[in-house]
Every structure is written in structure tokens, then in C-alpha cells.
Chains A and B, each alone.
Chain A
Amino acid sequence: MGRYIIRRVIGFIPVLFIVALFTFVLVRAIPGGPFDYAGDKALPPQVVANIEAKYHLDWPTHMQFLSYLLGDDIMGLVFGGVYAETAGDSRGLIRGDLGPSLRYRNQTINEIVAVSFPISIQLGILALIIGLAIGLPMGIIAALRQNTWIDYSATFIAVLGVSIPSMVIGPILIWLVAVMAGWLPAATWGTKPPFILGFLPSNLDWNFWSHAIMPSFALGTGMSGGISRLTRASLLQVVREDYIRTARAKGLRERVVIVTHALKNSLIPVITILGPMFAAVVTGTFIIEQIFGIPGMGKHFVTSIGNRDYPLIMGVTLIYTVLLVIANLFVDIAYAWLDPRIRYD
């Protein structure tokens, strides 16, 4: 298993390189640049050229990519000339430098990520817990009581959860719970940097929870529907397997049959979707962040494109990629634990 993991981790490198290369080229292919305009005003070409030169956007694209990847000091050593004059601006992706923001010109991408990513992680994890806490039991009960009123109610709730988008649930919650009842603050997030270990909230008081309840719920219920439907379908399939019949034939109690034999196996499809789902929610959700005014990272996936903030687009895309491949690795490891027939070495 250890060698398998090492092999997989080494395999991340070409994946990241290809994602970086494609993103780098694609974002520069969009018409319009980051400094073409201010508000409704188009800026004079010379002014635009001055700013672009400052960020090396006047270099050939492949040189910009190398600089992004390796850093300006290595560029200067290898290519000399104009590339040596600006040595020191970028330290390169290989040393963890995601570059300067073109939109927020006094901030680097690393700084933007350091304040926004932890909040998305906090919200994402809370939402995932809510999603699992509602979705799993609902799916299991629905499967065990198949075609009863419990099953139909659970299905109905799950379909509601899947089909009502968070952009509807969010404003309704704000209107009912904050504006009408006045129980919770309408928006914003209840903790701020510095974070414990770089991502955990420094205060777990009422201020934190009062801000977290509504967005976590709005995000979590959406997930719970999918989890519940998948758990039900998978469990229904597993309980018809031969080894379940064997377990029953051995005279095991129904509880043991379900919990020890059926449930564990039926979780494989659920775990499969949990990997990408985890990567998606902890990197932030644009709509929930927008509606609840939460300063997370999700908004950068959308707004950085409109702003043509190339390094920010790169940064959030790469972070998402890293999380996705890691989450999928964990999913694969979990398979081996859930199903004894799966072995990797």
C-alpha cells in the first residue's frame, strides 16, 4: 500500500503540469486583457502597455509560463538578457509562489488564498457533515423500508434537496430566519484570520456558529439529497447479493447483516462521489458565498475570469486540482478498506 501511495503521488506531478499548461494558455486566449479598462472606460494602449510590462505580459507566452513555473531568478540564469533584469519578481510555482494578483495589485495570490481558502474549508466541512448526517440515515432507512411511506417521504425530501438550488434556499433562509425572525445575522462569516493551523476557526463561540448555521445548512441539504438517493440505491442492490443471503442463512441477526455486511459494501458508490464532492465544497461555492457574503475562495473561481486575473485563475485551479487528486487517492484507499476483494499491491 505504501508503494502504491508513493506511485500515485509521483503521478500527480504530470497531472498538475498539464493542468497548469492548459489553464495558462486558455486564459490568455480569452479576448480582452486584465488592464484594458477601468469601469466603463477603455484605457489608452500605452497605459495598458506600461502595466502589462510590469507584469511581464509583454513576454512571449512560453516565456511567461516558464517564469510562472520556475521563477524569475532561474529564468535570468538560463536565458539572460531581458529575463535577467527583472530577476526576483516571481519565485515560481515550483517553490510555491502563485504570483501577484493583477486585479488586487497590492496582494499576492498566496495571500489571497491564505485568507479565503480557510473559510471555504470551514464552511465546506460543516456542510459535508450536515450532508452526511442527513443523507446517510435517510438513504439507509429508505432502503430498509423500501416502498413504504417512509421510503416515499425520504425520496420526496431528497428530490427537493437536489432540485431546489441553493440560490433559492439561501435567500429564503435569510428572509425567514434573519430578516423576519431576527434570530441570526443575515450574512458574513463569524471568524477571521489568523486561523488555527492555518485553516481552523480561532473562535468556536456563538458568533462563529450564528454565522455558520444558515450557509452550512443551505449547502449541506443540497448534498444530502444526492447522498441519500445513492445510499438507498446501493444498499438495495447489496442486500440482494449472494453473500447477504449466506449471512442470513447462517442465522445472523438482521442488524448484524445490515451493519456489518451490507452497509460497509454499499458505501463504495457513496465514497466515490464524496471525493470530488469534498474537493468541490472545500474550495468554495460561488453561489452560497455570494448570497451569504462569505469571504471564501469560491468567488475567485468565477470573478477572476471576468477580471482576467490570470495568476488568480491559475492559483485556484491548481489548488482545486491538488485537492481533487488527493481526495481521489483517499477514495481509492477507502475502497480497499471497505471491500476486502480490492487490493493494490
Chain B
Amino acid sequence: MALLIVASMVLTACGTTPAVETVIVEIGGETVVVTATPETPFVPKVLNLNWGAEPPTADPALATDTTSVDLDGQLFMGLTNFNTEGEVIPWLATDWSVSADGLTWTFNMRSNIPWVQYNTATATVDLVYDADGNQRFVNAHDVEYATKRTIDPETGSNYAYVLYIIKNAQAVNEGEEGVTVDDIGVAAIDDFTVEFTIESPAGYFPAIAGMWIAAPVPGWVIDRPDVGVKWTEPGTIVTNGPYVMTEWIHGSELKLAKNPHWPDADTVDIDEIHGVIIVEDSTAFAMYENGELHTADVPQAEIDRVKADPVLSKEFTSVTRACTYFYGMTNNKPPMDDVRVRQAFSMTVDKQSLVDNVTKGGQIPAAFFAAPGIFGRPDDDLGIGLEFDPAAANALLDEYLAEKGITREDLDITLMHNTSEGHANIAAAIQQFWLDNLGVSVNVENQEWGVYLDTIRNVTPLDEMPHIWRLGWCADYPDENNWVYEVFNADAGANRLRRGCVDDVCTEVVLAEFDNITEQAKAEQDPAVRKELYTEAERLLSEVEAAYIPIYYYTFVNVTKLELTRDFSTVGHNHWYWWTLD
């Protein structure tokens, strides 16, 4: 006897009412429909987590921080997404292709992603219709609108510059005469095909096209004069991702619920996400220990206890992030203007000891800039980067001092970091390394974050610049271009290191081999060649120029209850729609 049972569940968005289960039983060709009240009422699977901070915005065009990006990642689908390994995968786009000259990218999109709106009165997720009564699906025009909106200077998007690779984007964003938003290189070819024209070939473009700043947003809501900046509030916001926003009490809590109309909703295991907004790590950790959260960051002071605790140690994980902690050196400020001095300082930082005894979160000592998982990053076994070698370092420094006719006591070097206990501990350790291994005593100073970032720009007068200063860098998109080129290229990058500066404040720069190679690699289309170029660039910067000191790659230091199965996103947003809860 052939027996086929098809069960379907109709869920309300917030899941407070019991599900109605309809069972269609097909027996020997006859179909019997049985609707039964389930024995147990539907209990939604609720994930309790901590946002860590009030998301500054839910507007994808304005988001820059991890909290807002995490939120937008659940609400809006980008053309592409990253898998757990940080590789680009299709998301809103099904596939894409690039023209022979590498300048035109065409993305074919899914046609079945509906726009939805959460109804706060009925607690349901509603489909959205236009004025003619047609259901709205996410289309190529939405992508075009969102991209142009981010670049439009009127929007005031902080991250607009990441889209400067798109044709005319920089000109429009910088308000150049003669170009308008209509000249930006993005166009809907038909309803579900979108085409980008870019300034120069860029193999990493699919990663950029999938970023939140280019994710489709509901233009017809945003442009309503009565809505304005309030379009991101629950009940008003129209979204298309796996989750919808159901409640946002600013500064206190933000809740999401599964979007039942999302075509892949079956694959989403967690029905509701209850996120509290707790800034203090140790408080969130106490809530975790009290069973109020499923996952939490581990405060540095608790790491030893967690590792020793029989229960917590099983819930503890430390996963590498695509972020690098480094010390920049002001390359045109004596004595840092001499490569031997920079190499000597770089070779006397005992990074292994630092991560074992100070940071303790399983961080990986960094030999060069790009963190694991970044495309184009040199292979670790090539041994790129300067090794810890006090003997060689002292020889280099002695040579420099002899040449200048000065002693170690004459060196007056300032190390600066932004005010924070963690950075202060690291600076104190490194200060000690230099004293022990190099015999040089450096002064450690700190400044409040906003003041600090103002200080370490490359337009600050040289005598106000510290010789050495800390910074971190995290991937916007997982490609070396976002690392060595955008940070260190003397011409196009931020060049805080003041490499190749003709005068004190870098009004003009002389390009070195590193700058040419990273420029070349940006436009190169062959991935294998690009990787070779970046490998060489990393070698030049960390060994030959020793322009900065890579310290370590960051880790997520986390505890997660055993019933939660999760991944860690090295780039982009957290994939809560892929997590499961038993």
C-alpha cells in the first residue's frame, strides 16, 4: 500500500499561537485531508543573544559597524553572501559573469524573493503590494536604487567609498561637476538582471556587490516624505531577508522573527531571536552563566577561569577572525626613518609570548598583514615576515647607532595607543620586550579614541606624531586589495605609515615597488598571478621595508551553550539563519 504523508505547517510570525497542522494522507489513490490540532502547542525556538551595542542604524546605506551589519544581514539579502570559510557564494544572485575586459559584471537574480513587512498590530508577516495590487518581489531595479542611494552624497553614507570601484561612483560621491547619480555604473538590464560597470578590473567585485551597502532596499518606502529616516522602525521597515524585525526598544532590546514568506524558510531552524543590548562584556557573561543567553563573548579577565571550569571549558571556542592587530611606524620620523631601526623593533616583539601570557584568547601571532581567509594571502609555509631574533636585531640597531654616533639612551621613542585596558596591557608587554631584547626604553602614551585617530592621520605635524602607534584592521571584503592596497598603498591607501613621503606631511609621495605591485595586482585578472603579486607585496612591506609590525590575528573568544550549533563569520554578518538550536 502506497502511503504518502505531506505535512505542512502554517506559522505565524512570532509563533505565539499554536500551529495548525494539515495532513494530507493519500491511500491507494484516494486523498483524505485531515486537519488536527497538534497534541502539543507550537513552541518557538528562541535564540537569546546579546547585540553588544545599540545598532547605530538599520539602514544598510549607513551601516558601518558589526552590530548594524549583523542586523542588516538578517533583514536584507545581498547579491552574494559569504560561507563560513569566507568564500563568496550566490545569495540573491543565482550566478554572475564578467566581460572579457573585466569591466562589466552581470548578475542574474532570483525572482521569487518577496518584500515583506511585519504588522505590529496583528503580529504577522505580511506580503507587500504596489498601488496596482501586484505583489512586490525584489528585483534588479531595487539593487540599482540601493547602490545609487549609497553613493549619492545626499544620503551621507559612511561606507560609500567602498563602492568607489563602480564607474563614476567616486566622482558622484565627491560632488564633481558634470556627473549625476544617473551616470553611476549600475543598471537593471531587465527585472532580474543587474549589470555593474567598474572603473578597473577587480576579481573581488562579487564580494563587494554582495555587501550590505548594495543590498536592495525599499525605495518606495524610503522616499515617502512622511517616513524619512524613520523607515527602519518595526512595522514600517520593509525587508526581504530570512528574518523580520518585530520589536526594537532603542538601547534595550531588539527582536527578530523568522520570515515565513522567505522561499528558503524551511531551512531556517530558529524561529525568534531575542537580542538584549548589553555593552559590558562581564555583565553579558554573567547573564550567560545565569542561563539568560545562549552565547556570549568571554571577557579577558575570565579566560583563565573558563578554560579551567569543567562545564565552561566545553562551551569555550576561540576562532580566528579576519582582523589584524598591528603597530604602525611613522616611516619618515627619525629614527624610524631608517629601515634597520624598524627591522630591529619588529624582530624583538615576542608575539608568541604576548598571545600566551597577555591576550590569552588563542590569538595567532601575525607575521604579515592579511589575516587567514583573505584571498591572495601568502601561504604560511613560505615563512614570510621577520622572525623573532634579538641577536640580529641588536646588530642592526648597533650599526645604525654607530653610524649616527649616538647610544641607545639617546633614542626618545613614543609608543601610542587609544585608551583601553587591553591595549595598555599589550603596550606594557611590548615596552618590556624592547627593553629586555633591544635595550631600548620607549615611552607609552594613550589618547581617547576620537582624539587618537585625529592624531595619527598623515597630515598631523611630524613632531606631534608618535613614532609607533597601534591600530587594527578587519576585512570589509575578503581580498588582499582591501588590506595591503587600501591601507598601505602610498598613493591610493590611507598611508598613515607615511611611506615615501617627500615632505613631513605627505603632500607628495614617491612610489616604491610595493606600491606598483599592489596597483598591478588590483587590476590583474588571473587569480594565481594576483596571489603571487600579493605574496611579494606582503614580503616587501613586512621584511624589506619593515614599515609596520604585524602583531596578531584577532580571535572570537566565545562561549556557546552546547544545544546551539553555530558558525563564526570571518567576514560579513553572522548567519543566524544557519544556526540550529536543539
Contact = CB atoms under 8 A, between A and B. Distances in A.
Interface of A: 30-33, 35-44, 46-47, 50-51, 53-55, 100, 103-107, 111-112, 115-116, 171, 174-175, 178-179, 182, 185-189, 192-193, 290-293, 295, 299, 306-308
Contacts of A103: 56
Nearest to B237: A106
Given A54-B154, A106-B230, A188-B278, A293 B448 contact: no
Nearest to B152: A50
Contacts of A40: 471-474
A295 B252 contact: yes
Contacts of A116: 250-251
Interface stretch (B131-139, B264-272, B286-294, B433-441): B286-294
Contacts of A188: 252-253, 276, 278, 287
Nearest to A52: B156
Given A51-B156, A105-B56, A306 B64 contact: no
- Smallest CB-CB A-B distances: 7 pairs: A32-B450, A38-B64, A295-B252, A293-B278, A51-B156, A295-B251, A54-B156
Interface of B: 54, 56-59, 62, 64-66, 153-154, 156-161, 173-175, 229-233, 249-253, 276-280, 282-284, 286-287, 289-290, 292, 448-451, 453-455, 457, 471-474, 494, 496
Given A38-B65, A50-B160, A187 B287 contact: yes
B154 A105 contact: no
A6 B99 CA distance: 77
Contact of B290 (A53, A179, A295): A179
Contacts, number: 154
B312 to A, nearest CB: 12
Contact of A38 (B158, B449, B451): B158
A112 B286 contact: no
B290 A171 contact: no
Contacts of B156: 50-51, 53-55
Nearest to A297: B251
Contacts of A107: 250
B284 A115 contact: no
A111 B494 CA distance: 37
A185 B276 contact: no
A224 to B, nearest CB: 24
A137 B513 CA distance: 78
Nearest to B65: A39
A236 B303 CA distance: 52
B283 A187 contact: yes
B59 A47 contact: no
Given A46-B173, A187-B283, 12 more contacts: A30-B451, A31-B455, A40-B472, A44-B161, A46-B175, A104-B54, A174-B283, A187-B284, A293-B276, A293-B277, A293-B287, A306-B450
A46 B282 contact: no
B232 A106 contact: yes
Contact of A42 (B279, B474, B494): B494
5 contacts: A40-B472, A42-B457, A111-B250, A187-B287, A299-B251
A189 B59 contact: no
Contacts of A179: 286, 289-290
B451 A112 contact: no
Nearest to B174: A46
Contacts of A30: 450-451
B158 A295 contact: no
Contacts of A35: 158
